[in-house]
Amino acid sequence: MLNVSGSASSGGMDAKWAALKDKNSKLKGRRRFVADVRDMKEACKEGYEGYGMRIERFREGDEEGNIEFKLVKGDQPIVAINLLVSDTSEYPAHHTFFAFSPDSDLPPRVESVIENLSSAKSSSIPETINKILLDLSKSSESKGKHVAMNESQDTDEEEGDDTDYEAYEDLDYQFGMVADNVTSAVSPQRLQHDFLEVVAADFRPGLIRFGTDDFVLTVSQPVINLSIPPHVLMAWDRRLLTTSHHLTLLISGMRGTYPPIKPDGTLNVGQVGQSLNLEFKVGLTRRYKPGREQTGEIIRNFGLVERDDEIGATLDGGGAAGAGESEWGLGEDEDGPMMEEDIPKPLVETEEDDPGRFQSFSLSSSLESLLNQAFVKVLGYRIKFGLGWAGAEALLAEVERMQSKPEDVFARLKNVMMEEDREERTVAQTYHLPHDPLLNREPNAELNLPLIAYSYLVRRMTLCTRYCPVCHNKLKMQYEALKPYVCDSKLCAYQYYSYNRGPSLEYEIQTNPESVDLLVSLTYIAAAEGSLEDPLPTGLGLRVPMPNGSIQSRVPNPTGFGMVGPVTTAMVPPGFPGYNNVVVPADASVSADPVADPRDGLVDLDSLALPEMRAAIVKLIDSIPSIAKIKAHLDRKVKAGKSRPKLRDVDPSVLPAAWSILRWCIASSTAYLEEITEQEDLIRNVEAPWRQFRFSVGAPDTEGKFKTALQAAQQSNANAATYPSLYAFHGSPARNWHSIIRHGLWFKTIAHGRAYGNGVYFAKEGSISMGSYAVKSQTCWRNSNIRPNSCAALAEIVNLPQQFVSNNPYFVIAQTDWIVCRYLLVNGAPKEEDLENTTFGAEEEAKKKQKKDDKVPFVTLDPAQPITLANHKVQIPEPSHKIDKLMRARREEYCEEDYDEDDADIFAAKEVLSRKPMEVIVIEDTPPPPDVGLSQRGGVDDWEHSPDWVQECMQHVMPPPAEASPMATMALQRELKAILKEQERARSLKELGWYMPPELIGDNLFQWIVELHSFEKSLPIAKDLVARGVNSLVFEIRFPPAFPHAPPFFRIIKPRFLPFIHGGGGHVTGGGSICMDLLTSDGWLPSYNIPSILLQIRLAISNLDPRPARLATNWDQPYGVHEALEGFRRAATTHGWKVPEGLERLLR
């Protein structure tokens, strides 16, 4: 058996023991005891081992005859033991050792070994220690790898080794136990240390066990805590904010080894010499970590079926992931790779089902492939070459490109790498990047893999639009998009669309069908009217029908006033006929090259010239069924186990290439669009047939840069200080919006010379932009439900018109940081429901009216810059209103749950850290200033906190407790957060009955000041308080390091109560401490929270039986600490309650 070999290798006690055992045998009594302690201490300093265990920190205790030491196996602490000799004069023949352990929650096996010591026959210290080690190792051996985890183990002690071992194989084991004396490659100290660092970084660590010695680590944080603007998150994937989620990283493949990585960044070797194979998964979870079962399913999919799973995660759970078709593109199905149109697993309807689920989202597969392929290498380069993330990434890209050694590449291109790092520091000014755990790292310091990996993940997620989601290289584009987009490489484009690395088309159709319709329609118009240029759906291997015509490009007029059109478009009235589409018959000279395959009549799209390509795209889109029809098909419920409805089944006659074009229309759009239908969100006086869409475009830091520009304007200009921004319309022909949505408003507009200067043009009167600029389309996708024919944007602009290129008659703005798009107004067909609703009448009207009455915050516009539509004043609801509401809802939903047992065990592992107060004490939520809460409550006769009164009491407070523990720190952080939240939410302080002055929350979590007040007026104590003008009872609460397993200590500082012996009552001891059963070791439960204890104390003080509580005549004299302790002791003794261990230390 494993454990036998382990014991054998360390072979019982070593020679040191033999030497020690009889060394002082001439001596007797106290002298012998002192000599044995001294020698043992000496021996332990040099390393004293036996039965595979080691004795550490052997020392004399506080009292005479007391010794303390710890047993350690490998890196795992097993148990701390205190021995107390009753009488050293009888040592070593007739004394008794009282043995106990300060550790709580000891495994029963270990506990019984310690208990047996007290009844064992007298023996010297070396002999006693030998016996402890022997007994522990025996108990360990008889239990196989799993010692004393389970009471039932006692019954099968005599069974054979093999069955014994197997019987326990599936049981969870705990770190830090006398388990596993051979192979556990986990350092609980390191794990605990790293977990605490993760917590200090404001993330949540987690551990999920599998079998006996494998585990998965998780790191997460609530999505709402990410420093990515909410509208950007919504653009990336609406699921990020439509319900409360964590962004969660799973790390597996450690093969039971921790730490998995060495200080030089290379991977550790596993337990039996196999190399580690780290695997990362990125997804959304409801809880701070996914369920064990769900995690098991995910990691089982690693390795063997990885590629299929990758497809499956985003495309399909069944069909295409099957073995027969795994060679995509070569399947018997003529669909080819672009036909992976099955519905992805994350379906809307199942989203709420399972609290343990781990859900992929639009960025998952890209981030996972990055972590799996590049993270460890990049980390290694950072350490080896002292680079930042960006520099190391650039180095990796060059190493792979040049196929050379990193040393050589670095030597040649060092400056390039350094430049990358410099650039990232600039980027960090507008993107909020996570703290870099490797910053200021000591050479050879240990690496906290979970923290570093998670921090890297958040960094790359924040910057995802700056990198290609497929090859992960930095994009070299002139503009930055709101959503991630592929680089120019054809291979990347192919993978991006074929593997659906972008947003899920099915999800978009199901949840945001209007935007899908709009995007397809705009692509159609751009193609049909000759504006469709890069990006094109090439490189995707699309096989399309031979176009029977071609669509020529429009020649942009350099003096064009609008976007890409002749200057006259700006001035002509609405209804200007625009261009006649130049659809010319297919010309033999143009299409000589591409020849349709006689077998299917199809031709490669890539082989067509641009005009023909446009014609082909038009034809394909026209064959796509309406989005409403597709949605209805996808929304069909299917029986469990049946495969989801597939796109291609909507209409089998539709060519695969048409579905691919549909996918491309959505996945290549880098803007955010969502139709607004609720009354409270709608812009006033923009009526049908205009439909309103929320619209964001441009880089994710656009909003941040805009805010900075607003602030600068407010400081430099008095009018802007009051009205920092203005709104205006921007119109452009319908055929241009396909491009604007992908490149931003100004990509093509600024370059050309214009009538009023270079810049983006805006109008204050909507009909100018919406009428003449927004040249109507002459064509329309025939299955569109929206049938858009013209579009205009409504943008928010920094209110410094005197600094615009021109401000009359139009705004012409060159500073692109001064513009953010807010709305897209689309002139289209009236919505069907609007038509239907006209018959509803009263009910609907009432509903609308009611909604109207809800407070809608409107943007306060500069009276000097009003905006109008057809001379009607336009009112704009605060654009952030909706997203603020969404964020508020997410925040309210979110409640930080406790760590589960596995994780709590890691935090609770004993003596792993030094006893000095932890540095991770961070009160995350800055408590609100006290008057804010009070003013909100505003009750006339509410109790009011008096800072002076409490301050006076504070002079008598002891310094904070010196002892702390990670476990208690964690518990207290939670407790403090909860109590402050409860206080903040209370309707009145009087009702609450207690108050925790936020200004007195110090750096030490282990000491709190709380007031009790507003006692029932008829009580004698209440009358006393009023009579003396005492505002509250001021309490000090001190927490022991064993909290929450040991009770806190409550004492009153002021006022002084009439002692019991003088006729007082109310459970206040003569020293001002509160002595109640629930605050003693016997009565305490870790589940008690402070507000519930305060309530109990309040009841006790209010209790008239046997006598009511009263103030003492010297009520103004504060209680001293020592009288508090004495009073508590006396009262506990009287009642026969156990005084909590270490109470004195707590008060020292």
Does 370 bind Zn ion (CB under 5 A)? Our answer is no
Q: Considering the complex, what minimum distance in angstroms separates the CB of residue 539 from Zn ion?
A: 11
- Return the number of the residue (492 or 1074) whose C-beta is nearest Zn ion: 492
User: 319: which 2 tokens?
Assistant: 């069909």
User: 752: which 2 tokens?
Assistant: 């050309």
Residue 728: enclosing H or E segment and its boundaries? strand 725-732
Using CB under 5 A as the binding criterion, the count of chain residues that bind Zn ion stands at: 6
Q: How far is CA 948 from CA 367, 951, 1031, in A?
A: 55, 5, 10
Q: How many CB atoms lie within 10 A of CB 845?
A: 11
- Return the number of the residue (395 or 608) whose C-beta is nearest Zn ion: 395
> How far is the C-alpha of 1040 from the C-alpha of 1044, rounded, in Å?
8
Q: Considering the complex, what minimum distance in angstroms separates the CB of residue 469 from Zn ion?
A: 8
Q: Are strands 76-85 and 279-285 parallel, antiparallel or unpaired?
A: unpaired
User: Of the candidates 149, 468, 791, 861, which one interacts with Zn ion according to CB under 5 A?
Assistant: 468
Reduced 3-state DSSP string for 1054-1123: ECCECCHHHCCCCCECCCCEECCHHHCCCCCCCCCCHHHHHHHHHHHHHCCCCCCCCECCCCCCCCCHHH
- Return the number of the residue (477 or 582) whose C-beta is nearest Zn ion: 477
Q: How far is CA 910 from CA 24, 193, 215, 855, in A?
A: 34, 12, 21, 55
> How far is the C-alpha of 467 from the C-alpha of 485, rounded, in Å?
8
> What x/- string results for residues 479 through 508 when contact with Zn ion is judged by CB under 5 A?
--------x-x--x----------------
- Return the number of the residue (231 or 472) whose C-beta is nearest Zn ion: 472
Query: What letter would DSSP give residue 587?
Result: P
Q: Considering the complex, what minimum distance in angstroms separates the CB of residue 479 from Zn ion?
A: 17
- Return the number of the residue (177 or 394) whose C-beta is nearest Zn ion: 394
Q: Considering the complex, what minimum distance in angstroms separates the CB of residue 774 from Zn ion?
A: 35
Q: Considering the complex, what minimum distance in angstroms separates the CB of residue 470 from Zn ion?
A: 5
- Return the number of the residue (496 or 723) whose C-beta is nearest Zn ion: 496
Question: Considering only residues 43-72, where is the footprint of Zn ion by CB under 5 A?
Answer: none
Q: Considering the complex, what minimum distance in angstroms separates the CB of residue 585 from Zn ion?
A: 38
- Return the number of the residue (384 or 490) whose C-beta is nearest Zn ion: 490
User: 296: which 2 tokens?
Assistant: 């098991």
Contact indicator for 884, 693 with CB cutoff of 8 Å: no
Q: Considering the complex, what minimum distance in angstroms separates the CB of residue 424 from Zn ion?
A: 19
Q: Select the span of 471-479, 509-517, 894-902, 1128-1136 touching Zn ion (CB under 5 A).
A: 471-479
User: 988: which 2 tokens?
Assistant: 């009145």
Q: Select the span of 85-93, 460-468, 680-688, 753-761 touching Zn ion (CB under 5 A).
A: 460-468
- Return the number of the residue (2 or 491) whose C-beta is nearest Zn ion: 491
Q: Considering the complex, what minimum distance in angstroms separates the CB of residue 487 from Zn ion?
A: 3
Nearest in space to 400 (alpha carbons), one of 484, 471, 452, 456: 471
- Return the number of the residue (479 or 894) whose C-beta is nearest Zn ion: 479
Question: Considering only residues 1095-1134, where is the footprint of Zn ion by CB under 5 A?
Answer: none
Q: Considering the complex, what minimum distance in angstroms separates the CB of residue 395 from Zn ion?
A: 18
Contacts of 452 (CB under 8 A, 6+ apart): 379, 437, 438
> What x/- string results for residues 849 through 888 when contact with Zn ion is judged by CB under 5 A?
----------------------------------------
- Return the number of the residue (148 or 470) whose C-beta is nearest Zn ion: 470
Distance of CA 164 to the CA centre of its chain: 42
Question: Considering only residues 967-996, where is the footprint of Zn ion by CB under 5 A?
Answer: none
Does 673 bind Zn ion (CB under 5 A)? Our answer is no
Which residues are registered as beta bridge partners of 379? none
Burial code (b: 16+ CB inside 10 Å, e: under 16) for 537-553 equals bbbbbbbbbbbebbbee
Nearest in space to 784 (alpha carbons), one of 747, 734, 823, 736: 734
> How far is the C-alpha of 525 from the C-alpha of 827, rounded, in Å?
14
Q: Select the span of 34-42, 465-473, 675-683, 851-859 touching Zn ion (CB under 5 A).
A: 465-473
Contacts of 456 (CB under 8 A, 6+ apart): 371, 375, 378, 379, 389
User: Of the candidates 470, 658, 1046, 1121, which one interacts with Zn ion according to CB under 5 A?
Assistant: 470
- Return the number of the residue (484 or 530) whose C-beta is nearest Zn ion: 484
Contacts of 1105 (CB under 8 A, 6+ apart): 1065
- Return the number of the residue (485 or 1137) whose C-beta is nearest Zn ion: 485
Reduced 3-state DSSP string for 588-640: CCCCCCCCCCCCCCEEEHHHCCHHHHHHHHHHHHHCCCCHHHHHHHHHCCCCC
Q: Select the span of 283-291, 467-475, 955-963, 1013-1021 touching Zn ion (CB under 5 A).
A: 467-475
Does 471 bind Zn ion (CB under 5 A)? Our answer is yes
Does 475 bind Zn ion (CB under 5 A)? Our answer is no
- Return the number of the residue (468 or 528) whose C-beta is nearest Zn ion: 468
Q: Select the span of 469-477, 614-622, 647-655, 1067-1075 touching Zn ion (CB under 5 A).
A: 469-477
- Return the number of the residue (368 or 1011) whose C-beta is nearest Zn ion: 368
- Return the number of the residue (207 or 468) whose C-beta is nearest Zn ion: 468
How many Å is the Cα radius of gyration of the chain? 36
Q: Are strands 257-258 and 185-186 parallel, antiparallel or unpaired?
A: parallel
Contacts of 974 (CB under 8 A, 6+ apart): 896, 898
> What x/- string results for residues 409 through 448 when contact with Zn ion is judged by CB under 5 A?
----------------------------------------
Does 686 bind Zn ion (CB under 5 A)? Our answer is no
- Return the number of the residue (207 or 475) whose C-beta is nearest Zn ion: 475
Q: Select the span of 281-289, 352-360, 385-393, 463-471 touching Zn ion (CB under 5 A).
A: 463-471
> How far is the C-alpha of 1064 from the C-alpha of 1085, rounded, in Å?
28
- Return the number of the residue (364 or 696) whose C-beta is nearest Zn ion: 364
Q: Considering the complex, what minimum distance in angstroms separates the CB of residue 535 from Zn ion?
A: 13
Q: Considering the complex, what minimum distance in angstroms separates the CB of residue 468 from Zn ion?
A: 3
Contact indicator for 693, 823 with CB cutoff of 8 Å: yes
Q: Describe the crossing of helices 901-908 and 966-985 by its angle, rounded to 10 degrees.
A: 120
- Return the number of the residue (663 or 1038) whose C-beta is nearest Zn ion: 663
Q: Select the span of 147-155, 328-336, 420-428, 464-472 touching Zn ion (CB under 5 A).
A: 464-472
Residue 323: enclosing H or E segment and its boundaries? none
Contact indicator for 223, 359 with CB cutoff of 8 Å: no
Q: Considering the complex, what minimum distance in angstroms separates the CB of residue 491 from Zn ion?
A: 7
Q: Are strands 53-60 and 48-50 parallel, antiparallel or unpaired?
A: antiparallel
Does 20 bind Zn ion (CB under 5 A)? Our answer is no
Q: Considering the complex, what minimum distance in angstroms separates the CB of residue 283 from Zn ion?
A: 23
Q: Considering the complex, what minimum distance in angstroms separates the CB of residue 566 from Zn ion?
A: 38
Q: Considering the complex, what minimum distance in angstroms separates the CB of residue 475 from Zn ion?
A: 8
Q: How far is CA 390 from CA 433, 465, 1145, in A?
A: 12, 14, 50
Q: Considering the complex, what minimum distance in angstroms separates the CB of residue 473 from Zn ion?
A: 6
Q: Considering the complex, what minimum distance in angstroms separates the CB of residue 912 from Zn ion?
A: 45
Q: Cite the DSSP H helix spans in 280-387.
A: 292-300, 306-314, 364-370, 376-385
Contact indicator for 806, 812 with CB cutoff of 8 Å: yes
Q: Considering the complex, what minimum distance in angstroms separates the CB of residue 176 from Zn ion?
A: 46
Check the CA dihedral 476-479-480-486 and report its sign: negative
- Give me the residues that bind Zn ion (CB under 5 A), please: 468, 470-471, 487, 489, 492
